[in-house]
Amino acid sequence: MKKYFKGFILIIFSLIFIIGIWYINLRITNNKNVGIVFDNKNIETKSERVINETISDYIENYYSHILTNADKVFEAHKSYSIEQKDGLINVYIYTLVEGYAFANGKFGFSCGGSNPALIVLRKDKDKFTVVRFEQSKDGTEYGPSIKKMFPRKYAEKAMEDTGRDLGLKTQIKSNSKEWLKAQGRSELLSEE
């Protein structure tokens, strides 16, 4: 009886050990690319501002070649998360892009759109460079493409935000007023 009891205890401890090693390996494998997650409390205000400016500048430049009937392209975005992963910085955003044009003595919206996007940045000293810009696909691929690009909890938020007023249009309108003023233009901002 004592002999069987010792064997039973040895088997139980072996199983616990194997399950423990398996669990640790599973956690390491699933989290090997997670990196450090920053939120507004942990990221330096200056870095966050520079990241947001880099993103807006990049997207405005990108769309200025696509929205050719616009005189000026403006961008505003909502950030869901900024994650450092494999030496790069992933920024998960919902972006609104609007092209504005001059017409009939006014300056106003002419074209644009919105969608979730992933921006991958590389940091060199205090400068950030866009390495990749990936946007959600249209139609039936919309949801699956977001789920592929974003971590689950941010994908769900981005899909919930689709079509909602996130204050981005107000930000763009403000940016367009500032731009007009800086250009010394006298046109009125269209209220469309």
Q: Are residues 25 and 71 in the same domain?
A: no
Please state, in angstroms and rounded to a whole number, the distance separating the CA atoms of residues 85 and 34.
6
Q: Are residues 11 and 41 in the same domain?
A: no
Q: Write out the residue range of the structural domain in which residue 150 sits.
A: 35-189
Q: Are residues 134 and 165 in the same domain?
A: yes
Residues linked to residue 37 through DSSP beta bridges, in sequence order? 83
Q: In the chain, which residues have pLDDT < 50? A: 22-43
Looking at the structure of the chain, the number of domains it has is 2
| Exposed / middle / buried, residue 100 (Cβ in 10 Å: 0-12, 13-18, 19+) | buried
Structure tokens at 32: 């090997």
Q: Are residues 118 and 145 in the same domain?
A: yes
pTM comes to: 0.75
Is residue 112 within 8 Å of 172, Cβ to Cβ?
no
Structure tokens at 36: 């450090």
The bridge status of strand 127-135 relative to strand 188-189 is unpaired
Q: Note the pLDDT of residue 87.
A: 87
